[in-house]
Amino acid sequence: MSAVDKSGFFERVYDVAAKIPEGRVTSYGAIAKYLGAAKSARMVGWAMNASKNRDDVPAHRVVNRNGILTGKSHFGGSNAMQQLLEAEGVQIHELKILNFDAIFWDPIIELNS
């Protein structure tokens, strides 16, 4: 199996986030739970912060469990995060994903099938 080569929490987060299909979104807790550390959801978000060094990690597709673009503030200061998601066909209203339940991409389900 690929990935998990670098014994690091961040590397695993990058690996999962990089597999998020276009037009789909997931939550920090979902990734953390998939990694077996649901309580480390904060760390996932923080890993996203470091993901700025990784071009393969679409942090804009990762939101909180409310479907709100919490990390938007970290996305360069503007609503670039929402713009990116809308560009992929994700309907958002005031940083809130409308059909969040419909486009939600769960790594536990998708990667486990």
Among 4, 21, 23, 52, binds DNA (CB under 7 A): 52
Among 1, 2, 39, 113, binds DNA (CB under 7 A): 39
* Owner of token pair 């609503």: 79
Structure tokens that stand for 81 in this block: 């995060």
| Interface of this chain with DNA, residues 67 to 96, rule: CB under 7 A | 70-71, 73-75, 81
Rounded CA separation 24/9 (Å): 23
Backbone φ, ψ for residue 110 (5° rounding): -65, -45
The yes or no reply on residue 38 touching DNA (CB under 7 A) is yes
Closer to DNA by Cβ: residue 29 or 107: 29
